[in-house]
Amino acid sequence: MGMRTRITDMAHARGLTAAAVARRLRLYPSNLSAMDAGRRAISLKALARVARMLDCSPGDLLGCSEEPTGLLYRQPRIRERLCLREGAAPDGAERGWVHRVLLAWQRHYRAPRARRDG
């Protein structure tokens, strides 16, 4: 479950665009969009500024999303293959392949950092 803000929804209800809200708050529109999508955290101080500008409570601007926030595999083909393999395994079966896949994923994303540090 991820936390999201409803800044643009509240702004549209008050006749403002997201760009106008970002301009008044002196934020980049991309940051405001990321806050609404739940990809960027918003501080309580910033949330209070937004609520004051939109004349609502900070609680009105917060919401939860039920969909998972971060998918491990964004490529549909890989997700589909993993789901099929997971579904084919009976309950209680050895699932060491999950560990192997996660290790491969970590090695893949750790390799560029090692090259930069060296």
Reported as a single tens digit per residue, the pLDDT across 38-84 is 788 888 898 899 999 999 998 888 876 565 545 555 667 777 777 77
DSSP state of 40: S
User: What is the percent of the chain where pLDDT is above 70?
Assistant: 67
Model pTM greater than 0.85? no
The answer to whether residue 12 scores a pLDDT higher than 70 is: yes
Are 10 and 54 in contact by the 8 Å Cβ rule? The answer is yes
- Return d(Cα 2, Cα 10) in angstroms, integer: 19
Helix count (H) and strand count (E) of the chain?
7, 2
pLDDT of residue 69: 46
What is the pLDDT of the chain when averaged over all its residues? 76
Give the C-alpha separation, 87 to 101, whole Å.
Answer: 16
Nearest-angstrom CA–CA distance, 10 and 58? 11
For residues 99 and 25, give the distance between their C-alpha atoms in angstroms, rounded to a whole number.
Answer: 45
